[in-house]
Amino acid sequence: MKLFYSPASPFVRKVLACAIFRDIDRQITCVPTVPANAPADLIAANPLSKIPCLITEDGVALFDSPVICEYLDSLEGALPLFPPPGGARWLALRHQAMGDGIMDAAVARRGESLRPKEAARDAFMARQKAAVDRTLAALEAEPPHQTVDIGSIAIGCALGYLDFRFAHEPWRASAPKLAAWFEEFSRNPCMARTVPHDAT
């Protein structure tokens, strides 16, 4: 399998963490990619020119981290990331949506912060920050479990991205229970091995 990736992307981290947890990461070749440059090989696989994008062993291009993670979970012989139908599955999917939502808002805010300042852009970034803050408050009220599944991985990647790109806005003081969860969860090999960093 081939994965178009950047080590700074929280959505790529989510995919890699899932692969590591399932012990199938050695089956994936990572291809460093800058989507903003519209590389031809990425566009040929994903017309949206976004990462992560996985090319399966059958040559099928899959994109959007929930789709890729569900595909990885379909490969036999490893621990499942998606619980079976029932309450645990809905909670895991809800947590995945919360984690993905934080990442969406934080990535959008990061992108806008690199542009020249203007009122409309500042208002957009404020809305993204408010969405993140509300979701952090909801997770503080009901912290995730330590079980590794698609939901806890998504939340862990989201919090890691906040530390990576918004370290000047510490979130732990207002969410101590979530911070304690994150500290312990980050010790899992799938998280420890995928800490984000800028490509060099």
Read off the CATH number of the domain in which 178 is found.
1.20.1050.10
Q: Are 100 and 162 within one domain?
A: yes
Judgement on whether residues 93 and 159 belong to the same structural domain of the protein: yes
Nearest C-alpha neighbor of 28 from the set 49, 54, 67: 54
Q: Same domain for 94 and 40?
A: no
Per-residue pLDDT of the chain (200 residues; tens, 9 = 90+): 999 999 999 999 999 999 999 999 999 999 999 998 999 999 999 999 999 999 999 999 999 999 999 999 999 877 799 999 999 999 999 999 999 999 999 999 998 887 777 877 889 999 999 999 999 999 999 999 999 999 999 999 999 999 999 999 999 999 999 999 999 999 999 999 999 998 75
* Boundary of a domain, candidates 38, 53, 74: 74
Give the pLDDT confidence score for residue 157 in this predicted structure. 98
Are 138 and 165 members of one domain? yes
* Per-residue pLDDT, 108: 93
Residue at 143 is within a domain = yes
Q: How high is the pLDDT of residue 4? A: 98
Q: Are residues 140 and 114 in the same domain?
A: yes
In a domain, 16, yes or no: yes
- Confidence at residue 120, expressed as pLDDT on a 0 to 100 scale: 74
**What pLDDT score does 55 carry?**
98
With CA atoms as reference, report the closest residue to 161 among 136, 190, 196, 189.
Answer: 196
Q: What is the pLDDT of residue 114?
A: 77
Same domain for 66 and 26, yes or no, is yes
The total domain count for the chain is 2
Considering the domain architecture, whether residues 174 and 101 belong to the same structural domain is answered as: yes
Domain extent for 23: 2-74
Task: Tell me: do 114 and 93 sit in the same domain.
Answer: yes
- Both 65 and 42 in one domain: the answer is yes
Q: Give the per-residue pLDDT at 84.
A: 92
Q: Residue 134: inside a domain, yes or no?
A: yes
Q: Return the C-alpha torsion angle 7, 13, 18, 23, nearest 10.
A: 20
Domain annotation covers residue 152: yes
Q: Are residues 68 and 155 in the same domain?
A: no
Is the peptide bond preceding residue 52 cis, with omega within 30 degrees of 0?
yes
Residues 55 and 118 in one domain: no
Give kind and range of the element (H or E) at residue 30: strand 29-32
